[in-house]
C-alpha cells in the first residue's frame, strides 16, 4: 500500500485526500511550521484580527457555526433565518409582484465573489423546485442583454437581487441601472421587484431603504467576497432556487470540524496546503490544475481561481518583505480535458500539479453497461485513474480528493476544504490571505480610465485629428487614447477615417 501518511481518510465517511502521487516525502511536510499555522487558524476562528492590513476579523467560518462567533451569533442566526424565510415565502407565492403574480425567475447582479459562489451552487445543485436563476456578473452590455433575452417575457415575474458590499461596485450598480430601464420600458414597477444585499448603511442600503425595496439583507464586514458563499450572497439565490442551503452549511461545518485537527497527517486541508508548499517550493512555482470528474463541478475551477489566487497572490509578506507569492489555478473537467490540455500535462512543461476530484456515486445517471460490464461511471473513473497513472509515469505530481456524491452537504464541505487549505498555506508562507490591494488598485485605475474617456470626447472637435495628436494635447498615453477612440467609432459615437494608428477621428 502507498504511504498512509499522505492519504488522509475521514473515519466515518468516504471522504479522503490521496497525495501519494505528489512526489512529496512525509519528512518534508513534517519540517513545515505547523504549530504557528494551526495556532493562527485557531486565533482567527476565535475572533482575532486576522486581516491586519484592514484591521478586520475574518469570520466566514462563523456563518456555519454561529455558536463559535461570540457577539456575532445573534446577528448570524437572525440573518440566516430571515433569508431562508423570505426565500420560502417567494417560492410559495406569499411574496408576489404588484400584479399579484408569483415570481418565477431571479436575477442576481454581482461580480467576483458576489457571483461565482452562487453560480457554482446553481450549476452543481440546480434541480430544486424553486425559481429559475440568472446572473449578470459583468458590465458587458451584450452579455447583459443576452441574459435579459433569456428571461424574455418572464421579466415581469423576476426578482432582482443587487449584491455589493460597499454599495458602490461600479459594474453592479451600472448593471442595475440598465436592468431598471428594461423594467421601466415594459411599464413594470420597480421597488417591489428589488432586493439589496449590502453592507450596513452603504450607499445601496440607503437607496433601498429610501425607495422601499422589497427586502434588504446585510453583508457582514468580516466576510470577504471570495468566502461569502455561506452568507446571504449564496444563501438567498440558493434558497430561491429551492436548494438545501441548511445542508450546505452543515457540510461546511463538518469539514471545518475535521480540519481543526492539529496534525497534518489527520487534517486533509493541512495535507493539501503542505503539498502545495512542497511542490511549489513555498513560492507557487507550480500551477494547480483542478480536474473534477463530474459535470456538476464544471464551475469549481472558476470558483477556486478567485478563492486561491485572490487570497494567495500577494506582493508583500505580513512582515513587509516583498515576496510575490501566488498559486495559479486553472482547469475544466474530466474527462473532457483528456481531449484538451492533458497532452501538455503529460508531455509538455512540468510546471504544475493536478488536483483530481473524484465523485464515488453515479448520481441520477443510467446504470446500464456501456463497455462490457462497465457502466458510464466505471468508464469515467477509469479515465481519471488512467490519466493519473500516465502523469505519475512521467513524474508529473497529482493528488485526489474523493467525495461520496455531489449534493448540498458535499459541496459545502468541498468549498470549506479549499478555504481551510488556503488559510493554512497563507500562514505557511507568511502572507495576509484576506485582503486584495491589487484588486483595489485595478478598480481605481479603471475609474480613472472612464474619466479619461470623457476628456477624450470633450477634446474632439469638428476637425479630424489623430489619437497621437489628441493624446499630446491632453497629456495622455497615445495608445490608451487610440483604444478609446476606436471603440467609440465602432459604436457610432464618433466618426473615423482609416483603421491604423494614423486614423483620424472627428465628432459625428
Active-site residue list: 310, 339, 443
Residue 319, C-alpha cell as written in the block: 512582515
User: What is the C-alpha to C-alpha distance for residues 124 and 298, in angstroms, rounded to an integer?
Assistant: 8
Query: What 8-state DSSP symbol labels residue 164?
Result: E
Q: What is the dihedral of CA 203, 234, 434, 24, to 10 degrees?
A: -160
Residue 21, C-alpha cell as written in the block: 502521487
Spell out a b/e string for 139-170, using b for 16 or more CB atoms within 10 Å of the CB, else e: eeeeebeebbeebeebbbbbbbbbbbbebebe
Pairing mode, if any, of strands 369-371 and 374-375? antiparallel
Classify burial at 441, counting beta carbons within 10 Å of its beta carbon; exposed 0-12, middle 13-18, buried 19 or more.
exposed
Residue 81, C-alpha cell as written in the block: 433565518
In this structure, the number of other CB atoms found within 10 A of the CB of residue 268 comes to 25
Spell out a b/e string for 192-228, using b for 16 or more CB atoms within 10 Å of the CB, else e: ebbbbbbbeebebbebbeeeebbbbbbbbebbbbbbb
* Residue that is written with C-alpha cell 439589496 in the block: 196
Q: Are 222 and 202 in contact (CB under 8 A)?
A: no
Amino acid at each position: 500500500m502507498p504511504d498512509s501518511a499522505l492519504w488522509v481518510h475521514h473515519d466515518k465517511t468516504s471522504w479522503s485526500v490521496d497525495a501519494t502521487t505528489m512526489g512529496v516525502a512525509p519528512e518534508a511536510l513534517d519540517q513545515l511550521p505547523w504549530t504557528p499555522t494551526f495556532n493562527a487558524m485557531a486565533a482567527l476562528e476565535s475572533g482575532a484580527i486576522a486581516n491586519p492590513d484592514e484591521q478586520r476579523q475574518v469570520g466566514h467560518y462563523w456563518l456555519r457555526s454561529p455558536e463559535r462567533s461570540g457577539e456575532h451569533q445573534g446577528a448570524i442566526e437572525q440573518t440566516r433565518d430571515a433569508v431562508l424565510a423570505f426565500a420560502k415565502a417567494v417560492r410559495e407565492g406569499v411574496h408576489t409582484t404588484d400584479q399579484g403574480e408569483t415570481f418565477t425567475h431571479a436575477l442576481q447582479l454581482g461580480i467576483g465573489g458576489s457571483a461565482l459562489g452562487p453560480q457554482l451552487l446553481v450549476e452543481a445543485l440546480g434541480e430544486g423546485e424553486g425559481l429559475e436563476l440568472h446572473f449578470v456578473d459583468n458590465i458587458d452590455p451584450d452579455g447583459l442583454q443576452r441574459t435579459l433575452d433569456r428571461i424574455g417575457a418572464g421579466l415581469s415575474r423576476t426578482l432582482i437581487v443587487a449584491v455589493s458590499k460597499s454599495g458602490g461596485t461600479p459594474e453592479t450598480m451600472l448593471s442595475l441601472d440598465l436592468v431598471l430601464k428594461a423594467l421601466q420600458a415594459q411599464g413594470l414597477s420597480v421597488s417591489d421587484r428589488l432586493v439589496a444585499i449590502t453592507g450596513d448603511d452603504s450607499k445601496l442600503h440607503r437607496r433601498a431603504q429610501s425607495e422601499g425595496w422589497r427586502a434588504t439583507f446585510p453583508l457582514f464586514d468580516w466576510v470577504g467576497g471570495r468566502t461569502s458563499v455561506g452568507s446571504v450572497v449564496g444563501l438567498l439565490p440558493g434558497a430561491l432556487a429551492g436548494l438545501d442551503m441548511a445542508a450546505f452549511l452543515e457540510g461546511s461545518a463538518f469539514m471545518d470540524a475535521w480540519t481543526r485537527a492539529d496534525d497534518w497527517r489527520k487534517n486533509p486541508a493541512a495535507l493539501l496546503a503542505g503539498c502545495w508548499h512542497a511542490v511549489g517550493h513555498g513560492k507557487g512555482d507550480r500551477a494547480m490544475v483542478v480536474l473534477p470528474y463530474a459535470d456538476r463541478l464544471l464551475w469549481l475551477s472558476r470558483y477556486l481561481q478567485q478563492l486561491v489566487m485572490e487570497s494567495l497572490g500577494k506582493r508583500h509578506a505580513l512582515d513587509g518583505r516583498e515576496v510575490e507569492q501566488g498559486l495559479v489555478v486553472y482547469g475544466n473537467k474530466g474527462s473532457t480535458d483528456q481531449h484538451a490540455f492533458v497532452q501538455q500535462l503529460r508531455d509538455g512543461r512540468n510546471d504544475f500539479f493536478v488536483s483530481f476530484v473524484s465523485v464515488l456515486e453515479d448520481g441520477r445517471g443510467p446504470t446500464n453497461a456501456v463497455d462490457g460490464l462497465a457502466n458510464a461511471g466505471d468508464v469515467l473513473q477509469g479515465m481519471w485513474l488512467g490519466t493519473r497513472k500516465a502523469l505519475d509515469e512521467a513524474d508529473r505530481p497529482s493528488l485526489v480528493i474523493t467525495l461520496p456524491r455531489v449534493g448540498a452537504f458535499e459541496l459545502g464541505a468541498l468549498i470549506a476544504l479549499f478555504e481551510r487549505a488556503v488559510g493554512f498555506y497563507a500562514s505557511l508562507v507568511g502572507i495576509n490571505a484576506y485582503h486584495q490591494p491589487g484588486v483595489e488598485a485595478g478598480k481605481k485605475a479603471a475609474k480613472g480610465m472612464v474619466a479619461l474617456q470623457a476628456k477624450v470626447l470633450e477634446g474632439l472637435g469638428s476637425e479630424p485629428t489623430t489619437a497621437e495628436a489628441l493624446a499630446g494635447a491632453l497629456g495622455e498615453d497615445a495608445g490608451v487614447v487610440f483604444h478609446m477612440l476606436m471603440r467609440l467609432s465602432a459604436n457610432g459615437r464618433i466618426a473615423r477615417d482609416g483603421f491604423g494608428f494614423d486614423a483620424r477621428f472627428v465628432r459625428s
